[in-house]
Structure 1
Amino acid sequence: MQTSISGVEIELQFFNEATLRVIKHPKGKDFIKQSLSVILKPLPTKLVIKEEGNILSVRSSKLQVFLDLKDGKISFFDLDKHLLLTEKHAGTDFTDFDDAGSKTYTVSQCFLLEKEEEIYGLGQQQEGKMSKRNTKLNMIQGNTDDYIPFMLSSKGYGVFWDNYSPTVFEDNATNTYFKSEVGDGVDYYFMYGGNADTVVSSMRMLTGKAPMFPLWTFGFWQSRERYKSQDELVDVVKKFRELQVPLDGIIQDWQYWGNNYLWNAMEFLNPAFYDPKKMVDEVHGLNAHMIISIWNSFGPNTKTYKSLDKIDALFNFITWPESGVEKFPVNKEYPSGVRVYDAFNPFARDIYWDDLNKGIFSLGMDGWWMDSSEPDHLDAKTTDFDTKTYLGSFRKVRNAFPLMTVGGVAEHQLKESNDKRIFILTRSAFAGQQRYGANTWSGDVNASWKALRNQISAGLNFSLSGIPYWNSDIGGFFLWDFKKPLTNLDYRELHVRWMEFGTFCPMMRSHGEGVPRELYHFGKKGNPTYDAIEKYIHLRYSLLPYIYATSWDVTSKNSSMMRALVMDFDNDKNALNINDEFMFGKSILVAPVTEAMYWKNLTKDDTVTPIEDYSVVKTKEVYLPNGTNWFDFWTGESIQGGQRIKKEAPLDIIPLYIKAGTILPFGPKVQFATEKKWDDLEVRVYEGADGEFTLYEDENDNYNYQKGMYTNIKFSWNNKSRTLTINDRKGAFSGMLNDRKFNIVFVSKNKGVGAELISKYDKVVSYSGKKIIIAKD
């Protein structure tokens, strides 16, 4: 449907029953756009269209829209005529703009929100806030801030502003608006679902579904800035194996290529990496996986730089590193000459992959750590944004850079081989990036209690922006606030609390600069810090059957792994703006400890040697959402929801609560994710409500699951009849288990719950794929 009102062309385009695209542009001007984010094509949608007076109404089976033919204002309603969102009167603006020689506009659109409404999403910011009401954001990609112009409302709708230029988002007492520096028109998508899960699902349907990660990516990861030789890296994996502490991934950070003039050569030119194939093979021989740092910029002495320069695919603005001299402080008298490549250029992306494939992927590397994917843009000047890209000025497409560079690697790798699922860890993101097998980390955050707390809302809003995989550097990247951090008791507690939080993030990875963070640098077995770190690594592996099943929900049902409380408790107003709790999957409530319990400001005097005394136990206040009962994970105690409680939180305890009706599988004790098959699982039943859980299994890597090669086993708990049903196994794949045991535990107060596997079970059943009904005595 298209019409012209007051010199503005307006087009309403339904993509499906719940998703509508709105396009506005000045009359007489062409609007031709191939979205970088949106990949869904409009589906045939049955519509009822009426015109009454000055109002044009369009109704689908899930949504109705009213267009005021007099002033062009658009309003969105549900089928019961409840107002969801409306544009502000005269809220669309086009301002003539010369974008590096191209005539275009600065564009904006204002909306009106209800006073009690909360909004979420918009990417990741380090503000410590869940709701984005009364917020102004200058949306230009940065190291620790990722911007995705998608907002999700507590009223059950979402708006995706499909623009890639620097954008201001603001919500204030007058209105809510997006304003972008460059645009041939206003272009946004409205989607209605009634709840956050459905809206996120609509965003994924629009911009791409998230594929499965390999099982090993959900194990524990260790990295450091940086391992300085291949021997040092391999020795870390060996040390974990000697200590019998689980590990699945090791990461090599920068400078394996040599000096800064060889920046990101995508070859091992540093002599300390004398036999990279041997290094990768040794890591694999230790049953671990390896990924490696790659950047989006190149030093002037690299082959890739020279190839890109020939096709004019290098930008001229200042990026990291500024100096060719590797020691600090930065010496700008010896400029590095490093330049960012034009990821918008398909021929440049071809060159990038060809060199990466020959230099590193061919060695058997398991994945990529794409650093500076925003990219680093230092001392930014207005003229820098005039830089030409393959798709126009850098200003026009600036925020979509991470989408293009991550997508370039993913698409090329998939063409090269589908034996290995794509896994990319990256520092920045844009709408649609989930379709490329990418996990975003929160950037180079400084270690502090405030930073730890801020990670929670940062990760949750990122997930609410449609991208489900996220993590932070466990322990914080920089250690500016701590002297002698490994012996500083305040930092030791912070590191443990961050490790506890990281256990319940989609990726669990310890990383940082300055001092090494491997657990054995914090002491030996028997030391409280060491023991707490080890405890949570083991707990992570115990939860792998639950985590992998949740990841299947992410792929198959567009679900989310790290869930803001609004996703599951939108009827509980007390839960809508809580910024230090979340659901991990749909069953586990996590309330990280985000302030020092023991050692705050204790170790400023280096002449005093404090003693690790954890005899005093403090408490953390936790809100348990209404509408369900909860079980304390550690004690098995049942607690009614809708109240605030205090939970004792000694060093090795993070408050965890399991939703009534949960069926929670526990995996075997292992040293790596695939060491043992899941043929002897413990299954914990948390009574008090009906519940379901589906155990998902496949070949753990490759893309055969997309061909239907996987199995599901559905467990159902009927609270009234007190019966657990294990249904028929569905599906098949090569190497699947035909026979197994399930060890059933009905959780109750003080009955052997918590991190450890239970030694005495209520029921032990043999299962060969056929339905079993188990009655609780």
Structure 2
Amino acid sequence: MRKAVFACIMAAVSSAALAQSYRRTETGILVTPTAGPVVQLQSYGEGVIRVTEAPSPDVKLPASLMVRATPIAGGFTVSEGPGSVTLGTGSAFADVDLATGKVRFRDAAGKPVLEQSGPPTFKPVTAEGTPWLSISQQFNRGTDEGFYGLGQHQFGQMNYNGEDVELMQHNMDVAIPFVVSTRNYGLLWDNNSITRFGDPEPYTYAGAPDDRLRVNGGSGWTATYSVKGKTIATRQEPTIQLQYLEDVNRWPAGTRKPDMQSTVDGLHVTWEGTVTPRNGGLHRFRLYGSSYFKVFVDGNEVLDRWRQNWNPWYHNFDVALAAGTPHKLRVEWEPDSGYIALLHNDPRPEPDRHSLTLTSDFGRAVDYYFIPGSSMDEVIAGYRHLTGKAPILPKWAYGFWQSRQRYETQDQLLGVLREYRKRKLPLDNIVQDWLYWPMDQWGCQCFDPARFPDPKAMVDEIHDSGAHVMISVWAKYYKGLPNYDALNGIGGIYERMSNPRPDEPKDSNYIKWMYLDWVGPGYFNAFYDAYNPAARDLYWKQVREGIESKGFDAWWLDSDEPDFHSNISPAETAYRMGPTAIGPAEPYFNSFPIVHVDGVHDHQLVDKPDVRPFILTRSAFGGIQRDSAAVWSGDVASRWDNLREQISAGLNFSLSGGPNWSHDIGGYTMEPRFQKPTAADLAEWRELNTRWFQFGAFSPIFRSHGENIKREIYELSPTGSPTYESMVWYDRLRYRLMPYIYTLGANSYFDDGTIMRALVMDFPSDKKTWDIDDEYLFGPAFLVAPVTEYKARSRTVYLPAGTWYDFYTGRSTKGGQTITAAAPYERMPLFVRAGSIVPTGPAIQHTGEAKGAPVTLNVYTGADGSFSLYEDDGTSRQYLHGQYSRIPLKWDERTNTLTIGGRAGSGYNGMATKREINIRWMRPGSPRTLSFDAKPDAGVTYTGAPLTVTMR
């Protein structure tokens, strides 16, 4: 083998100097440039090329936590050009400059699509006393392409070109370092630490010494603390920095209650300053805050938001400021025991701002994967080739879920289920949230017998009703419990979480503030170390023996960012998370959710190899789709602006390779005015829930959840009210559409499909779609336009090219234009693309009903189209062995014929050998009102052989 490699190198290299610059390896090439880092290229199949750049050739990288694929020996070409060497994979080419190591990627046609703008940067850093590198790489400087993905973020951003995004796990933010471009390539940045897309420099506190924004001539912000108009403190503060628990001592005397746990009632704070920028241009600000806050620039309001006090997050605003010109900036805040900080970054040169730049705090090398494709879908398929296929979820997971924070007793939960069945409201999953255990025994993996006397009987009744049950299981343990001690005995507990440092204050208020959790009197607690394989084994053993043995169907893995203690700083989080079993915490900061969820998924497969696992997780990392997992958007607030932000959050998460995404319908936490509402506030609360529910019905996972009040359909508004009737209608619609929706779920495995689709995925050549953040496609057929403004009874909708049908009225409209769509209280705008074939089923109460019932094919004519109806047993993993049914459907516009093709797949247990298929034609210019039970236009009996039906 060595002789063959040497001969190949000598044949390819034209001079001794070039022969020393690179060598062919079994899986690619290794380049040692004249100047610059060592560059290794490896082929991973499907055209994917891995690039590793390191300061020296002896760097050893740990095994990837995201990537499961391995490099491919052979199947690539190596060729030499003037001063460069090229690795070719057929669908992509990577050119490496032999002098500098600069890498450029070209598509199958040879067109450049991604190019390093310069060498990577490596800066020495330390983590727990060990040497690491801070790394950064810029690509495509000055580009006009669109960028998407990066996980899930709550800033209302859609196209990330020109934006800054910090990838750091948080209650509502999911870090996945994967970018998809409108040039049809993806870049997976294989790094586990906190990472920044855009500006490589972290944002600094506005007015800090290292900030280039002078505040009040350098004297800082004028801060005024008052209660009911009476000033209790005025002072100059260098920064607005009350961001974390550690900042409690920054508060002036008299502003917090004696126990330091909360602010005094009625406190109001104002910061004012004349800011003078050193550099002119687009200045970027981030207001980190909770409770009510507003920001004014030169007297103009630029931000007005609210978040629950215990769950602050960032809110972006940009302001164009002239160099040397003073501007007035004011922040108003009602703390209500919340948190706040104002951060800032200076303008960047426009070519740098419009680039693909990734920077990570800790790494061994720059390590990334170039993923080519002819479409965004192919790019996502390539990503899943690297990180894992997305299995089909159990069918019931695509039905309606009811949850609340929380069902306090077994009778409460069963009472809700019985009421749904009594009212004939479809329901497939009911969820038991946290604290079903005795209050002082978090981590016992057990039930409080006083409140849940017979959990197995509870589960049996749920199953007997045709529903399923998910239960919240945390990675958290109270110190001193037997399960804690067992994990600690194998080095599987993060001990720093429940052991204050020797140099910390011993004051009981401080200890409670920084270490005890929020339950009852507060308890010392810790998470298990999911990086430790033995700890993963023991964690699952405890869950299996205490909970799974009762028959629960699915796992809700909450707080797995991990959120050790809300509102501690990232540095404090990293300290408490370390050391992990595989090294210091900082280099692995973002990756806890993938090792934790991997562990639960893989152990369940061992226990029940033919049952589809199902997991709901609050956080995620690259590869989460392989774990039969759905991700939800965290504890978002019950606000119209938060509703709007969920759309772009879900779309970019979907573009990050995760097909199964969800959100708390209605928002998790209610704004205070909704908790004890006036008549006007109650009306707004109900309308907000109505609009959110409509959006939820066309989300991949359809679930209602939240705290403060009961969230069941019949609790939110009386029977017969517009809110109740709208929710019932969309709940039932979801089940009518189940043949379509379940097929989308299956396509996420078989075709690497994406259920919730940004318009740019299907209409990339139409640049108007690139930035649209408030409408999307639900599968190939539906265009969904949620209503996100109070009292709106219409909204503008952009219809891309083609013909579109109003789903409710059947009226057709030509695309390529923006229209004003009707949005009555009970309905949101919903359109179907011509050429769509939408299968619908009967009215059912859960997905296990009416198996083999007639299906209706709604054919939206006006363009050629196709669909492939998928069915299986809904719960087993036999689909992996061919046990399913695929019925290909094709509409030919020229001949007016629908072809129902021969069944693919070997069938499945319980499959009907004969199937009644009804057909309903929708024609442009001939509107027909939506009716699921109207007499069909045609009908056939399908036995698996091909059939053709002509529209008449």
TM bucket, shorter chain: over 0.9
Distance 1:670 1:333 in 2: 43
Per-residue deviation, 1:46: 3.1
Match of 2:764, SS state, is coil
The reply on whether 1:286 has 2:480 as its aligned counterpart is no
The gaps in structure 1 that reach 5 residues or longer are 599-617
- Cα distance in 2 for residues equivalent to 1:331 and 1:281: 33
| Whole-angstrom distance in 2 between the partners of 1:747 and 1:720 | 15
Residues 1:769 and 1:361: Cα distance change in structure 2 (over 3 Å): same
Q: Which amino acid aligns with 2:128?
A: A
Within 5 A, what are the aligned runs for 1:760-775? Answer: 760-775=935-950
Q: Deviations over 1:694-740 (max 9, x none)?
A: 11111110111111111111111111000111112222112111112
Task: Give the C-alpha shift of residue 32 in structure 1.
Answer: 3.1
Q: Distance in 2 between matches of 1:535 and 1:333?
A: 41
- Counterpart for residue 72 of structure 1: 101
Structure 1 position 301, deviation (Å): 4.1
The answer to whether residue 574 in structure 2 is matched with residue 385 in structure 1 is yes
The answer to which of 405-414 and 65-74 deviates more is 65-74
In structure 2, the partner of 1:601 is none
Identity %: 39
Compared CA separation, residues 751 and 100, structure 1 to 2 (3 A)? same
Aligned-residue offset at 1:142: 0.2
- Find the aligned partners of 1:178 and 1:739 in 2 and give their Cα distance: 55
Tell me the equivalent position of 1:479: 670
The residue identity in structure 1 corresponding to 2:372 is Y
Retained in 2: the 8 A contact 1:479–1:485? no
1:684 corresponds in structure 2 to: 858
1:683-722 alignment runs, 5 A limit: 683-722=857-896
Which residue identity does 1:455 align to in structure 2? Answer: Q
For residues 160-186 of structure 1, give each alpha carbon's deviation from its aligned partner in whole angstroms, at most 9, with x where no partner exists.
Answer: 100001112215631432221221111
1:52-451 alignment to 2 at 5 Å? 52-90=81-119, 92-170=120-198, 173=350, 174=352, 175-259=355-439, 261-269=440-448, 271-316=450-495, 318=497, 335-378=522-565, 379-380=568-569, 382=571, 384-386=573-575, 387-451=578-642
Q: Which residue of 2 aligns with 1:606?
A: none
Q: Which amino acid aligns with 2:571?
A: T
C-alpha distance 271-125 of structure 1, shift in aligned 2 (>3 A): same
User: CA 1:169–1:381 in 2, change beyond 3 Å: closer, same or farther?
Assistant: closer
1:563-602 counterparts in 2 under 5 A? Answer: 563-597=757-791
TM-score (normalised: structure 1) = 0.93
Q: 1:333 to 1:436 in 2, by over 3 A?
A: closer
Relative to structure 1, the CA distance from residue 541 to residue 115 in structure 2 (aligned partners, 3 Å threshold; closer, same or farther) is same
> How many Å separate the matches in 1 of 2:491 and 2:144?
52
Match for residue 78 of structure 2? 49
SS of 1:147's partner is strand
> Structure 1 residues 442, 197: closer, same or farther in 2, change over 3 A?
same
2:747 counterpart residue number: 553
2:698 pairs with 1:504 = yes
Query: Could you list the per-position Cα deviations for residues 257-301 of structure 1 after superposition, in whole angstroms to 9, with x for gaps in the alignment?
Result: 111x31132111352111111111111111110010111111124
SS of the equivalent of 2:908 reads coil
Aligned to 1:571, the other structure's residue is in SS state: coil
Count residues in correspondence.
751
CA RMSD of aligned residues (A): 2.1
Find the residue that maps to 1:577 and give its secondary structure.
coil
Cα deviation, 1:384-436, whole Å, max 9, x if unaligned, reads 53521011011111211000111110000000012421110110000001101
Aligned ranges 1:519-538 → 2 under 5 Å: 519-538=713-732
8 Å Cα contact 1:317-1:377 kept in structure 2: no
AA of the residue aligned to 1:223: S
Decide whether the 8 Å contact of 1:448 with 1:481 is kept in 2.
no
Q: What amino acid sits opposite 2:808 in the alignment?
A: W
TM superposition shift of 1:333: 11
> 2:852 touches 2:911 (CA, 8 Å); kept in 1?
no
1:621 aligned residue: 796
Matched-pair contact (CA < 8 Å) for 2:899–2:948: yes
Contact 1:564 1:582 in 2 (8 A): yes
Does the CA contact (< 8 Å) of 1:446 and 1:476 recur in 2?
yes
1:458-486 per-position Cα deviation (integer Å, ceiling 9, x unaligned): 00000101111100000000002533478
Q: Determine the C-alpha separation between the residues in 1 that align with 2:156 and 2:817.
A: 23
Residue in 1 that maps onto 2:271? none
Instruction: Establish whether residue 728 from structure 1 lines up as the match of residue 902 from structure 2.
Output: yes
Q: Quote how far apart the aligned CAs of 1:522 are.
A: 2.7
Instruction: Pick the structure with greater CA Rg.
Output: 2
- Partner deviation per Cα, 1:187-237 (whole Å, 9 max, x = no partner): 100111132101011000110000011111111000000001000000000
* Separation of aligned partners in 2, 1:44 and 1:752: 58
| 2:40 partner SS | strand
> 1:658 deviation in Å?
0.7
Distance in 2 (CA, whole Å) between partners of 1:437 and 1:702 is 13
With 219-228 and 177-186 compared, the bigger mean Cα shift is at: 177-186
The 1:744/1:404 distance shift into structure 2, 3 A limit, reads same
SS at match of 1:103: strand
How far has the Cα of 1:111 moved from its partner?
1.4
1:636 alignment partner, SS class? coil
CA contact (8 A) 2:144 2:161 kept: no
Tell me which moved more, 213-222 or 297-306: 297-306
In the other structure, the counterpart of 2:49 is 20
Contact conserved, 1:77 with 1:84, CA < 8 A, in 2?
A: yes
Give the letter aligned to residue 560 of structure 1: T
* Bigger mean CA deviation after superposition, 101-110 or 339-348: 101-110
SS in 1 for 2:362: strand
Distance 1:534 1:648 in 2: 20
User: Which stretch of the first structure deviates more once superposed, 723-732 or 588-597?
Assistant: 723-732
CA distance in 2, matches of 1:313, 1:84: 45
Structure 1 residue 51: deviation in Å? 2.2
CA distance in 2, matches of 1:559, 1:342: 34
1:768 aligned partner, one-letter code? T
CA contact (8 A) 1:485 1:492 kept: no
TM superposition shift of 1:45? 4.6
Rounded Cα–Cα distance in structure 2 between residues aligned with 1:650 and 1:254? 37
CA distance in 1, matches of 2:495, 2:818: 55
- Give the letter for the 1:436 counterpart: D
**CA 1:222–1:524: 2 relative to 1, 3 Å:** same
Letter in 1 for 2:662: N
Where in structure 2 are the equivalents of 1:461-480 lying within 5 Å?
A: 461-480=652-671
Measured against aligned partners, the alpha-carbon deviations of 1:648-675 in whole angstroms (never above 9, x if no partner) come to 1111111111111111111110111111
**1:49 positional shift:** 2.2
CA distance in 1, matches of 2:393, 2:725: 29
Which residue pairs with 1:605 in the alignment? none
Write the distance in 2 (CA, Å) between the matches of 1:733 and 1:743: 22
Counterpart of 1:737?
912
Are 1:653 and 2:847 an aligned pair? no
Aligned twin of 2:25: none
